[in-house]
Amino acid sequence: MRFTFNFPDLGEGLEEGTILEWFVSEGEFVKVGDSLVQMETDKVVADIPSPKSGTIVTRYGNVGDVIHVGSPLVEIETEGAGKELGSGEDTGENAERVENIQEIADADTQGIVKADQPIPAGAEPEEGAAVVGTMEVAGEGALLAASDEGSGTDKPDEGLRKVLATPVARAMAKEMGIDINNVPGSGPSGRVKKEDILNFKSPSMEMSGRAETFKTEVEDVTYKPLTQIRKTIAKNMLHSKHNAAHMSVFEEVEISVLKEVVTRYKPKFADKEVKLTYLSFVVKAVAQALKQHPQLNSQIDTENNRMIYRNRYHIAIAVDAPDGLVAPVIRDADRLSIFEIARKIGELAQKARERKLVLEDMKEGSFTITSFGSIGGIFATPVINYPQAGILGIGRILKTPIVKDDEIVIGNIMPVSLTVDHRIVDGGETTRFVKRVMEYLSDPVSLLMDE
């Protein structure tokens, strides 16, 4: 029996995805839950698992092709191929990963179930739940990371997995007479890039001198296709600028006391494998200040002529991951201790670096913090993570002369930049919120007083 598996809707209004890598070849046998293909959408990069066991008869699309939701991905010959999804007889890891994914087979999926985590026994799947693998970048309204260059479209030999490579690298290898399968790739998942071809030397190339000639010819311009994620970044930034009235204010807060606290407790946190940073206190200060200034924790609903005030304080933090900026969320930050916040920041940063963030890590942020000063920069005008009402930027901490008790002393100044949607927040409320955050940071003990 032949079964056609269509590209499922992974949620969040997905319309299409780009094929990044095929994990199977035509004629290959797959089991339920085996990864078929890696797809990049405007929200996530995910491995799509097989909903049935059987032999891959046909693959639709090559690496780099755009596939629309509901269009065929593969055809699977299932006759005599073992147990299928929903039989209730599969056991072990595969059964745990693919339980409750019959919705995929119907190609009418909308929700998300993380396939890299077991589904609890007796749990009800979300309506129209689909299955995805580990998400690498994500986020409703989050700042997203760009993926690597696009990949080539040559069809692999039967029974062999094609080497990952960019279109430019494939063209260069063909022109230079290089077997691309012999070239070590430096890109993600071992993808061969232009630089790998230029740096690869074989005896025949050295004799002919073609490598140096070709290198000169191709260095003038490099073309890279827009990824689904990069298109979404551009769309979200313009959407924020066009739909929110951005206003920014700048301040400086003296944090010598906070610096002493961080210095004193950093070794104790390190003993528990948790890194204590200033950002932990900033997250706590913002969460506490939002409770007193709810306008900053709201959004405007013009279609229904109302304001939506968030009663929970989920703080998104911008993380500089290897492939770009992502904004995972610390949920209920007001209820967490400094230690718990520091541990959560470390966990999210590690997952971002390893490209293991999942959709749940990115959802429902109500306010965003971006700490650009950890890299460089004093002040900036951050772009609102729409439809949130505000975003706080933290600049590079500076040692500078200040006046204290009518004397000039060396102070430690943390620059802060706050951008708000001026339709939601007036100037007075904006400055009162900044002032409250500054009070918490200049006197960190006060964070405990307003619990």
Domains belonging to the chain, first-starting first, are 2-132 (2.40.50.100), 235-449 (3.30.559.10)
- Give the pairing type, strands 113-114 and 131-132: parallel
Whose structure tokens read 């600049």? 395
> Which tens digit of pLDDT belongs to each residue from 299-324?
999 999 999 999 999 999 998 877 66
Q: Which residue has the higher pLDDT, 248 or 173?
A: 248
Q: Which residues contact 304 (CB under 8 A, 6 or more apart)?
A: none
pLDDT digits (tens, 9 = 90+) for 109-145: 333 333 333 434 333 333 333 333 333 333 333 333 3
Helix ranges restricted to H, 333-379: 338-353, 359-362
Residue 137, pLDDT score: 37
Check if the beta carbon of residue 380 is closer than 8 Å to that of residue 417: yes
Distance CA 168, CA 269 (A): 48
Hey, what's the torsion of the CAs at 223, 229, 235, 239, to 10 degrees? -150
The secondary structure of the chain in percent helix, strand, coil, rounded to multiples of 5, reads 30, 25, 45
Using CA atoms of 42, 117, 370, 323 in order, give the dihedral in degrees to the nearest 10. Answer: -50
pLDDT of residue 184: 87
- Segment 329-340 shows an average pLDDT of 96
Does pLDDT of 11 surpass 70?
A: no
- Tell me what pLDDT residue 204 has: 53
pLDDT band at 213 (very low <50, low <70, confident <90, very high): low
Residue with tokens 């709201």: 298
Q: What is the pLDDT of residue 8?
A: 86
pLDDT at 229: 64
Average pLDDT value for residue range 189-211: 68
| Of residues 206 and 86, more confidently modeled | 206
Q: Is 166 exposed, middle or buried (0-12, 13-18, 19+ CB in 10 A)?
A: buried
Are 327 and 142 in contact, with CB atoms under 8 Å apart? yes
For the cut 50, the answer to whether the pLDDT of residue 151 exceeds it is no
pLDDT at 208 over 60: no
**Angle of CA points 379, 380, 385, to nearest 5°:** 140
Lowest mean pLDDT among 40-49, 142-151, 182-191, 237-246: 142-151
Confidence of residue 169 (pLDDT cuts 50, 70, 90): confident
The confidence score (pLDDT) of residue 153 equals: 39
Q: Give the bridge partners for 165, in sequence order.
A: 192
- State mean pLDDT over 363-391: 92
pLDDT bin (cut points 50, 70, 90) of residue 214 is: low
Q: Is the pLDDT of residue 63 over 70?
A: yes
Return the sign of the alpha-carbon dihedral for residues 360, 362, 366, 371. positive
Across 38-64, average pLDDT: 86
User: What is the per-residue pLDDT across 403-425, written as a single tens digit (0 to 9) for each?
Assistant: 988 999 999 999 999 999 999 99
Please state, in angstroms and as integers, the Cα–Cα distance from residue 22 to each residue in 7, 158, 161, 188, 304, following that order: 14, 13, 8, 14, 45
384 token code pair: 């609102």
Least confident of 24-38, 94-108, 262-276: 94-108
pLDDT at 43: 61
User: Tell me, what's the pLDDT at 89?
Assistant: 41
The gap from C-alpha 308 to its chain's centroid, in whole angstroms, comes to 26
Reply yes or no on whether the pLDDT at 210 is more than 60: no
Do you know the residue count of the chain? 451
pTM of model > 0.85 = no
Tell me what the mean pLDDT of segment 173-193 comes to.
82
Kindly state the average pLDDT of the residues 233-245: 87
The pLDDT, as a whole number, for residue 190 is 76
How far apart CA 338 and CA 345 sit, in angstroms, is 10
Angle (deg, nearest 10), helices 256-271 and 278-292: 120
Task: Name the 3-class secondary structure at 182.
Answer: helix
Buried b (16+ CB within 10 A) or exposed e, 264-291: eeeeebeeeebebbbbbbbbbbbbbbbe
Instruction: List, in order, residues 6 or more apart from 324 with CB less than 8 Å away.
Output: 137, 143, 144, 145, 146
Question: What does the pLDDT read at residue 170?
Answer: 83
Give the catalytic positions in this structure: 422
> Of all residues in the chain, what percent carry a pLDDT higher than 70?
73
Task: Tell me what the pLDDT averaged over the chain comes to.
Answer: 79
pLDDT at residue 1, rounded to an integer:
86
Instruction: Check pLDDT > 80 for residue 212.
Output: no
What distances in angstroms separate CA 48 from CA 232, 319, 357, one per listed residue? 21, 26, 16
Tell me which amino acid residue 433 is: F
- Looking at the DSSP bridge assignments, the partners of residue 408 are 403
